[in-house]
Structure 1
Amino acid sequence: MTSREITRGVAAGAATTLAIGALAFLGAGVAGAAPASITWDDGSSRFTRTVSNTSPAVGDTITVTTKFDRTSWVDEFIYNVKDRHPSCLTYVPGSAKMGGSPTNTDDVNADEGNGTGYVRSSWGVTSWVVQNRPGFHASPEYSVDYKVGPNCPRGVALTTGMDYGGSLGSGGYGNKGPSINMAKTATTTTLSPVTGARVGVPSNLTANVTGGAAGDTIEFKDGTAPIGTATLDGAGTATLAWTPTVRGGHTLTASFAGTAFANASQSAPITVQVAEQNATSTVAIAPITGAQVGRASTITATVNPAAAGGTVEIRDGAASLATLPVGADGKVTYQWVPAAAGAHSLTATFSGRDGVVGSNTTASVNVAEAPANNTDSTTTLNPVGAAAVGTATTLTAKVNPANAGGTVTFKDGGTVIGTGTVGADGTATAAWTPATAGQRTITAEYSGAGTVNASSDQESVIVGPGNGTGGPGTGTGSDAGSLGSLFGS
């Protein structure tokens, strides 16, 4: 054996480099290359290393193969091979093979601390021979598979190489190649449409970047003026609240500046029409006098600016009394029957409507005890029977005593759906057209009148999906009678 054969790493600089099947290079990546091989001689040993894809994408699996040959008649036994790779590649367990057979003796170091790792395999000293004699030729190959990780640097040469030990010495070729060169990931940025934008009102801007990573920064602009920045989440989405200050058309874009791993991109511009700022509103409760337990008092709430749209919810303290649609005159009315004497705090909350923000107000009302000689009443809600979406149904309630007068308010849950005047026969009716299918609780609240106390009744109603399949109601409060039916006492 020559000294060069005993310590082959020393002679690496004098190796002869040959190209096989692709561009040949030493320690330098070629963007866009697919397979690449490099061959070199060290003494009478010849090595050929092949990388199946030198420009892979994240998630690809690449195979690195080292072939051993001899240029003289002296045989060499291979004892071990250490394949060196960038630490951003992950060894595929069980993939190391010598001569096509699994090695089953792998020593894996994912990162030696210098950005490289290795996979080392060894076997019996006479297992693999390299021969080049008349009638005897053997060129064993060692191969390893790696998975490409997302943290691989882009646009730089990532070195591969190998070391080995054999019967004629050892060789160290840790940076021999071929190297791997990953291009930056291409990205696309899209900006979602924005609707309903108004001066002074926040609207969400949403951008999505394919090819970006969580934590990457997105900049939003209105024309050339920066709006602000946001970071991508794990789904590649960034959201920023934008509060326009000027009405009219605005041209918005979202830009991804790019990173060490991904190229920059910008969305197509979108045009957003910004309307005038929402108008403010006020809601007022008209003064209520003479309120007493068991007798209805009319609550009137007025929304300004007056127009139909939105709802007003009336509350007595924390208890919701009713939710009513605002009429064209901006008003809602509700027949309130107090259940307890003393001070009550009424609240009217306007939901707002298109172009008008909501508002609320409170009013204090003193409620007197009911006169001891008042007469109790009973209210009976007739079974509704079949009810269906989009079909008008007549709600009928019977008040006793029949000649008491007053009104009956009908509710679907907490929403007022109609009011009927009690006739001389004690009957009050209202038309109801259900908008959605499902089970409903319909309540009939009698206001009381004169010396006759209020009362209520309710039943469950099944509303069908518009084909008349709604089932009959199951009355739960018939003849419940008196004030206790209304207030659960």
Structure 2
Amino acid sequence: MSDRSVRRVVGGVSALAVAAGFAVTAGVGVASAAPGSVSWSDGNSNFTRTVSETNPGEGDVITVSNKFERKALTVLEIVNQVRDVHPACLTYVDGSAKVDGSPQGLESSGPDFARVAGSWTVYPNIDPKSHTFEFSYKVGAGCDRGVALPTGMTYAGSLGSGNYATKGPAITVRKNVSTTALAAVSGAQVGQVSTLSATVTGGADGDTVEFYDGAAKLGTGALNNGVATYAWTPSTRGAHTLVAKYLNTAKADASQSADQTVQVSQSDAASTTTLAAVSGAQVGRSTVLKANVTPAAAGGTVTFKDGAATLAEVPVPANGEATYTWVPATAGNHAITATFSGRTGVTGSTANASVSVAEQPAGNVASTTVVTVGASPKVGAAGSVSAQVTPGNAGGTVTFKDGNTVIATADVDATGHATAAWTPANEGQRVITAEYSGGSGVNASADQVSVLVAAGAGTGGSADTGSLGSLFGSSG
């Protein structure tokens, strides 16, 4: 019996479940392979179409094959074109098309098909008795889940053509398996916002995550690049059990994070810092800057600045009053700030003041200051710093600093000598400064020295000192 010039689709096709042996690349979901195959005849041609995985997950790569054979004792046919039809949510894998296992470039493709063209002869009684056409696709996020998605093929040859666009096997994409992880929460305080952050795999942008404190729902967040957040403001202190729950969607199963116990502390008390009024400031003469921190208690530091320049960092004593003896170097208005760093249970705060500085008084005597450091300073070992002021009978004070941190302020005795105890807190090269406030008819001056502080008491570190020169010199 001869073949018809145009093939017809015949009904009553039976599906055969056979193992195809094609590889499946695991995606978001995890499941054992479920290959599928259908076979049918049309005229004197037999067809077998196999899908390597009929229940894939998002991101999986599946391979389909179309086998073409002729019945015995019939004429040969030359296959000129095979068009594989697939759901539009699948994406053709570049370079995957093969004919009889050998790579074959595509003749054309579209959102729901891939086509190869050529000349492949199929003989009924001698080799080659069949040809197999393969195509691979990646399962996309846009595939509907749990719905049978039709597949098929069409072909054209020397004896006619056939349209089997929905022959199958159908593909049913399974729902994603999701996971949810809640980021660690630390430093939570009553009345203060803490950001809860949940990372979800298997979800999609816009999906909902619910955040809970025990059985109480706090609120929701939408996934954005796999992360959902919620601004949580605890109202009570103590232990809170937090959990994030990713809700079930049409494309992904629900999941939730492990419980996380968070300790919420009482919120920090607010502080205020004030700067005492400053009057009579002059170039080269000392002026006391005084910052009062409320609530008063020891802890934290006050950083004094003149504009952008840091003058000193002063530890806050028990009475909350931090002072620094400032010697202005230039006349005019100076923007002074005092910034409290905060301490455990208390927030930081800042005060500002504008201080008018007059020109240096005429007729004052210049002074010089020379700073020295006790031998072999070591971290944690008590030592001393001292300064010699000339002339030595004008009185006044010397402020000693380690970098910007005030060590102590000492009075200048009748011989021009001032000394203070110093227990180094940091090893390495340190810069020690002595700032003389000036006295009656005598201008201020300062000096610096570089000191090498050893790692600890008893380690044998040595004092490597060298003067860095007067800061104010002997200007008159």
TM-score, shorter chain, exceeding 0.5: yes
Q: Find 1:476's aligned residue among 464, 468, 476.
A: 468
Equivalent of 1:246 in 233, 236, 241:
236
Deviation of 1:452 (Å): 1.6
Residues 473 and 233 (structure 1), Cα distance of their counterparts in 2 relative to 1, 3 Å cut? farther
| Counterpart AA for 2:6 | T
- What is the TM-score of this pair, normalised by structure 1? 0.83
State which drifts further: 291-300 or 386-395.
386-395
Aligned residues: 462
- Range moving further from structure 2, 363-372 or 184-193: 363-372
- 8 Å CA contact 1:249, 1:272 repeated in 2: yes
How much does 1:14 deviate?
4.0
Map of 1:11 onto structure 2: 9
Structure 1 residues 98 and 192 mapped into 2: Cα distance closer, same or farther (>3 Å)?
Answer: closer
Q: Deviations over 1:226-260 (max 9, x none)?
A: 433333343x3333322223334433322222433
Is the Cα–Cα contact under 8 Å of residues 15 and 42 in structure 1 kept in the other structure?
Answer: no
Residue identity matched to 1:73:
L
Contact 2:188–2:194 (Cα < 8 Å) also in 1? yes
Instruction: Tell me which residue corresponds to 2:82.
Output: 81
Quick one: which amino acid aligns to residue 53 of structure 2? N
The question of whether the paired residues in 1 share the 8 Å contact of 2:70 and 2:122 is answered with no
Secondary structure, counterpart of 2:148 in structure 1: coil
Aligned-residue offset at 1:225:
4.2
Residue identity in the other structure for 1:123: G
Separation in structure 1 between the aligned mates of residue 376 and residue 53 of structure 2, nearest angstrom: 72
Does residue 155 of the first structure (1) align with residue 153 of the second (2)? no
Which of 178, 186, 194 is the equivalent residue of 1:203?
A: 194
- Residues 280, 100 of structure 1: alpha-carbon distance in 2 compared, 3 angstrom cutoff: closer
Aligned partners of 2:427, 2:246: CA distance in 1, in Å? 45
**3-state secondary structure, aligned to 1:12:** coil
Unaligned runs of 5+ in 2: 21-30
Q: Please say which of residues 280-289 and 35-44 is displaced more in the overlay.
A: 280-289
2:9 match: secondary structure: helix
For 2:195, the aligned partner's letter is N
Tell me what 2:114 maps to: 119
Alignment partner, residue 168 of structure 1: 159
Structure 2 CA distance for aligned equivalents of residues 329 and 140 of structure 1: 95
CA gap 1:52/1:457 in 2 versus in 1, 3 angstroms: same
Alpha-carbon distance change, 381 to 179 in structure 1, aligned in 2, over 3 angstroms: farther
CA distances 1:461-483 after superposition (whole Å, capped 9, x unpaired): 56676677799455432486146
- Aligned runs of 1:254-403 on 2, under 5 Å? 254-341=244-331, 344-363=334-353, 365-382=355-372, 394-403=384-393
Are residues 136 and 312 of structure 1, via their aligned partners in 2, closer, same or farther at CA, if it must alter by over 3 Å?
closer
Map of 1:487 onto structure 2: none
> Matches of 1:56 and 1:468 in 2, distance apart?
71
For 1:427 and 1:306, how far apart are their aligned partners in 2?
30
Pick aligned residue for 1:128 from 121, 125, 136? 121
- Deviation of the 1:422 alpha carbon: 3.3
Q: Deviations over 1:368-394 (max 9, x none)?
A: 444312111122334799766656664
> What is the rounded CA distance, in whole Å, between the counterparts of 2:104 and 2:200 in structure 1?
43
Cα drift, residue 209 of structure 1: 1.5
Distance in structure 2 (CA, Å) of the matches to 1:136 and 1:341: 105
**1:383, 1:472 within 8 Å by CA — same for their partners in 2?**
no
CA 1:35–1:17: 2 relative to 1, 3 Å: closer
Amino acid of the structure 2 residue aligned with 1:304:
T
Match of 1:65 in 2: 65
Which residue pairs with 1:28 in the alignment? Answer: none
Aligned to 2:18: 20
Structure 1: unaligned runs, 5 residues or longer: 23-30, 485-489
Q: Using a 3 Å threshold, how does the CA distance of structure 1 residues 100 and 197 change in structure 2: closer, same or farther?
A: closer
For residues 135-176 of structure 1, what are the alpha-carbon distances to aligned partners after superposition, in whole Å with 9 as ceiling and x for unaligned?
A: 666122111222333333322223221111122211111111
In the alignment, what sits opposite 2:23? none
The amino acid across from 2:59 in the alignment is G
RMSD (CA atoms): 3.2
**Which shifted more, 473-482 or 154-163?**
473-482
Residue pair 1:410, 1:430 contacting (<8 A) in 2 also: no
Q: Distance in 1 between matches of 2:374 and 2:48?
A: 89
- Residues 385 and 473 in structure 1, CA contact (< 8 A), matched pair in contact too: no
Asked whether the equivalents of residues 314 and 348 of structure 1 are also in contact (C-alpha less than 8 Å), the reply is: yes
Structure 2 distance, partners of 1:448, 1:346, is 21
- One-letter amino acid matched to 1:476: L
What amino acid is the match of 1:98?
Answer: V
Counterpart-to-counterpart distance in 1, 2:451 and 2:222: 50
1:199-236 per-residue CA deviation (whole Å, 9 max, x = no partner) reads 221112122212234443323233454433333343x3
| Contact 2:9 2:164 (8 Å CA) reproduced | no
Change in Cα spacing, 1:442 to 1:161, as seen in structure 2 (3 Å) is: farther
The sequence identity of aligned pairs, in percent, is 52
Aligned counterpart, 1:97: 98
Q: Which amino acid aligns with 2:395?
A: G
1:251 counterpart letter in structure 2: T
Partner of 1:458: 448
Map of 2:439 onto structure 1: 449
CA distance in 2, matches of 1:472, 1:152: 74
For the residues of structure 1 that align with 2:83 and 2:382, how far apart are their CA atoms? Answer: 84
Kindly tell me: are residues 395 and 162 of structure 1, through their superposed partners in 2, closer, same or farther at Cα, counting changes over 3 Å?
farther
Contact 1:383/1:475 (8 A) holds in 2: no
Letter in 2 for 1:362: N
Cα distance in structure 2, aligned partners of 1:240 and 1:388? 49
